[in-house]
Amino acid sequence: MTHSRTTDHPALAQLGDGRCLVMGEVALTHDGSLGLAHAFIDAIADAGADAVKFQTHIAAAESTPSEPFRVAFSRQDRSRYEYWKRTEFTEEQWRGLATHCRERSVLFVSTPFSVEAVDMLERIGQPFWKIASGETSNAQLLERVLRTGIPVVLSTGMSPLAEIDAAVARVKSRGVPLGVLQCTTAYPCPPEQVGLNLIPHYRERYGCWVGLSDHSATIYAGLAAAAIGIDLLEVHVALSREMFGPDVVASVTTAELRQLVDGVRFIERMRANPVDKDAAARERVPLRRIFTRSLVARTALPAGTRLAREHLAIKKPGTGLAPERLEKVIGRRLTRAVEADQVLGVEDIEGLPDP
């Protein structure tokens, strides 16, 4: 029996409705420690993210013993294959991680890197498939994923537009809900390569959910993406920058993730509430009276004084005649005596027309 779709989770239910689903990417930063993987779930949930994402690597199904490291980082693994093998979890362990996510009210997501990984993750259940940048052109993997019928989110870090077009067409031909994430495969990714301009381009080109898979190791790219409007944000997470692993250099800390989530929610509220400037000004009339200025008598003046510029000053509060009426007041007579610093009103000036 499969439990592939988690439609009752509010983050998934609101996907595409102006709320960004924030996903903390653990990848393999747990380094094969099941306890550390569970610790990541708690930390990411505590930071307010909507989803915790892992990567499911099955060494024998994905790699050969001759696969080289992308970067030389491991002192204990002689090959990438050995690293995949050492960091594998059993199906029972993956089930435990998925259960822990449900207990913490976050979505469990894991990216499959083989058909065998898809088979296992389908049995465990997740709300959507996140396809890694290097797998976007993997037709066999994509076809297997599409047979599940649940949404597919494509990363685009290594793909030219033609390759993205082909993958999008394949997903759409099956009637499966789709998301496309702008991604740059650089660890960490410099600001010049983030590619924010592509996010609205993907939305127009593909008419689907769009977002950012960020490797900048900052909160800035995610906040900028939220400001232009995204549906999904994926960011690598580390418990600290002193952790071991190839993705730590491209990760934010859990404390930074909390800031990022709060910032995204703040931006969403701003975007959802456009301001009518005139209405806002009307609502702030009491403040305007405190902060703006009025025409006042510079000195005590008797009734009947024909007002000249030297008789008048402009001072706070803004409860009387506005300063822009100065030229209309000059040359008119006072209807009554006034004290120094007295705020002048319409009733104090003879024949002053309404504004």
At residue 173, the pLDDT reads 97
pTM of the shown model:
0.86
At residue 155, the 3 state secondary structure works out as strand
At residue 18, the pLDDT reads 87
Residues 24 and 51: beta-carbon distance below 8 Å: yes
Confidence of residue 64 (pLDDT cuts 50, 70, 90): confident
In this predicted structure, the answer to whether residue 242 has a pLDDT above a threshold of 50 is yes
At residue 354, the pLDDT reads 77
Distance CA 236, CA 226 (A): 17
Q: What is the pLDDT of residues 157-186, one digit of tens each?
A: 999 999 999 999 999 999 999 999 999 999
At residue 77, the pLDDT reads 81
Both tokens of 132, joined, read 């890694």
Distance CA 267, CA 108 (A): 25
Q: Measure the CA dihedral 64/247/55/136, to 10°.
A: -80
Distance CA 85, CA 159 (A): 27
Q: What is the DSSP letter of 331?
A: T
Both tokens of 46, joined, read 């505590």
**What is the end-to-end Cα distance of the chain in Å, rounded?**
76
Could you tell me the domains of the chain?
10-272 (3.20.20.70), 279-348 (3.90.1210.10)
Residues 230 and 264: beta-carbon distance below 8 Å: no
Confidence of residue 4 (pLDDT cuts 50, 70, 90): very low
Distance CA 177, CA 152 (A): 6
Peptide bond preceding 302 in cis form (omega within 30 of 0): no
Least confident range of 1-15, 17-31, 36-50 = 1-15
Distance CA 120, CA 62 (A): 14
Q: What mean pLDDT do residues 195-210 have?
A: 98
At residue 165, the 3 state secondary structure works out as helix
Q: What is the pLDDT of residues 280-325, one digit of tens each?
A: 888 888 988 899 999 999 999 999 999 999 999 999 999 999 999 9
Distance CA 282, CA 52 (A): 45
